[in-house]
């Protein structure tokens, strides 16, 4: 098939599942891998129909595809309900870039952590610790907010941001938060619309916010409310409250869905919208159980 040819639809492909030719089988595997999660879903439907003639070859194809169902892996992660931010970001990225490894995340994060610990004084306050984190992450490592990648999926993928050191507010905040946690520094994710930040005791008189998109600038509660007003949003306290890991990942998925639509990748945009629906459902179920 030439590069500009249209791929065959699934109805055509499924009728080749029981073809005994090794050449046909390799071609099917390659095509299903290109289709990604959509192929996995359709093959599972065939495999689950145990009375169907294609159940056995579909199940065999699923086994050969192995762990390539990265979208399915993230769905299983959602349904398990034990949200870990670093693991969740890695599983999300593998949907688009299967070759990414845990080491692509942990190695730079551990290196920044080791450097920050060299500079941290025993008994440092959270504000003092954040000054050290700012020095390491934004000055020594050179991470920057980049307005030009708001519509680029790379700006939302932690592994890519760790490699390029350019990100959008939420991806920079996630990296900062993962380093802070390794250093024992308590910060909370703050889901401000359009300007994700981190905060420490944000309801207290001595609380403050860290604006990672602006190089880690410390902001007061009133300054953050002013940003909301400047963006035409109500400066309600609800926007300034910490959010949990489920909501952070949901925000990442919303961003990725919009970014993928912007680059005309409708298939993957649909996958990430599916994640948003499942994460929102999980959040509602959690609220109802309290």
For the chain, which ranges sit under pLDDT 50? Answer: 1-6, 289-290
* Radius of gyration, CA atoms only, the chain: 22
What whole-number distance in Å separates Cα of residue 133 and Cα of residue 120?
Answer: 9
Residue 39 lies in domain: 10-68
Residue 31, in any domain of the structure = yes
Does 106 share its domain with 235? yes
pLDDT of res. 39: 76
Structural domain count, the chain: 2
- Say how far apart CA 83 and CA 103 lie, in whole Å: 19
User: Is 24 a domain residue?
Assistant: yes
Nearest 5°: phi and psi at 5?
-80, 150
Domain check: are 120 and 179 in the same one?
yes
Distance from chain centroid for Cα 95: 10
Same domain, 87 and 62: no
Q: Which residues of 205-230 are buried (b: 16+ CB within 10 A; e: fewer)?
A: eebbbbbbbbebeebebeebbebbee
- 1: in domain: no
**pLDDT score recorded for residue 284:** 64
pLDDT value of residue 287: 54
- Residues 60, 95, single domain; the answer is no
3 within a domain of the structure (yes/no):
no
Q: 57 and 197 share a domain? A: no
104-118 pLDDT, tens per residue? 999 999 999 999 999
Over residues 18-49, the pLDDT tens digits come to 888 888 888 888 888 777 667 777 787 787 77
Of 98, 86, 90, the C-alpha closest to 175 is: 86
Domain check: are 209 and 158 in the same one? yes
- State the pLDDT at residue 2: 38
Stated pTM of the model: 0.78
Do 163 and 223 lie in a common domain? yes
What pLDDT is stored for residue 6 in this prediction? 44
């Amino acid at each position: 098939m030439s590069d500009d040819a249209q791929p065959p639809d699934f109805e055509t492909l499924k009728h080749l599942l029981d073809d005994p030719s090794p050449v046909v089988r390799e071609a099917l595997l390659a095509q299903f891998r290109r289709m990604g999660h959509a192929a996995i879903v359709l093959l599972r439907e065939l495999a689950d129909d145990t009375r169907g003639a294609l159940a056995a070859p579909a199940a065999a194809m699923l086994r050969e595809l192995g762990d390539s169902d990265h979208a399915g892996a993230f769905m299983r992660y959602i349904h398990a309900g034990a949200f870990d931010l670093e693991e969740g970001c890695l599983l999300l990225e593998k949907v688009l870039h299967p070759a990414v490894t845990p080491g692509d995340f942990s190695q730079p994060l551990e290196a920044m952590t080791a450097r920050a610990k060299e500079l941290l004084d025993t008994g440092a306050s959270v504000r003092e610790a954040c000054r050290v984190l700012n020095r390491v992450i934004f000055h020594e490592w050179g991470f920057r907010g980049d307005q030009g990648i708001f519509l680029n999926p790379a700006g939302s993928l932690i592994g890519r941001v760790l490699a390029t050191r350019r990100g959008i507010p939420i991806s920079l905040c996630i990296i900062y938060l993962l380093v802070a946690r390794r250093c024992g520094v308590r910060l909370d994710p703050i889901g401000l619309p359009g300007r994700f930040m981190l905060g420490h005791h944000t309801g207290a008189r001595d609380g403050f916010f860290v604006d990672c998109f602006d190089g880690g600038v410390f902001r007061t509660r009133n300054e953050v409310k002013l940003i909301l007003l400047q963006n035409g949003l109500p400066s309600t306290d609800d926007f300034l409250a910490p959010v949990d890991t489920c909501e952070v990942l949901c925000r990442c998925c919303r961003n990725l869905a919009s970014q993928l639509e912007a680059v005309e990748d409708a298939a993957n945009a649909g996958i990430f919208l599916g994640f948003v629906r499942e994460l929102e459902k999980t959040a509602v179920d959690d609220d109802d159980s309290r």
